[in-house]
Amino acid sequence: MKINNIKKRIELTEVENKKACIYGTDEYKDLVSMRHTFSDYSIYVVKNKNKRTDSLKGLTYAYMEAYIEKHGSPQQINEFKYLRGSDDGLSHLSPSYGEIKKWFLSQFPEILEYSQKINSILRGEVA
């Protein structure tokens, strides 16, 4: 929670607001105290601005493997299998999903470009 003296309001995040609605919680007590101190201020719930739309949802290992088999070289197929640990049975030593995804997108940048173009169209930025 924070006080915005310029707009004369008490600002809460959505999470803080949800907790402040429950009688007896620390957030409730803080809000009551702030309302008492700043009685002429309004309460304002701040929306979360950091919504991630560029997450490449659906980019699974199975999709990556199928895409590499269809569009990649034999070397890229071998590298992917090695990274996954599926050739040697060493999957417990393989890199994280994020690292493999980063490698995949560096090998096939058209996937990232396609995703970015879709997001631009949905935001109305591209005709």
pLDDT at 88: 66
pLDDT at 53 over 60: no
pLDDT at 79 > cutoff 90: yes
Cα-Cα end-to-end distance for the chain: 41
Q: Which residue, 71, 80, 121, is CA-closest to 101?
A: 80
* Chain mean pLDDT for the chain: 88
- Report the predicted TM-score, pTM, of the whole model to 2 decimal places: 0.54
Composition of the chain by helix, strand, coil, percent to 5? 55, 10, 35
Q: How confident is the model at residue 45 (pLDDT cuts 50, 70, 90)?
A: very high
Cβ neighbours of 80 (radius 10 Å): 22
Whether 58 shows a pLDDT value over 80: the answer reads: yes
**What are phi and psi for residue 113, nearest 5 degrees?**
-60, -40
Residue 25 has pLDDT above 90, yes or no: yes
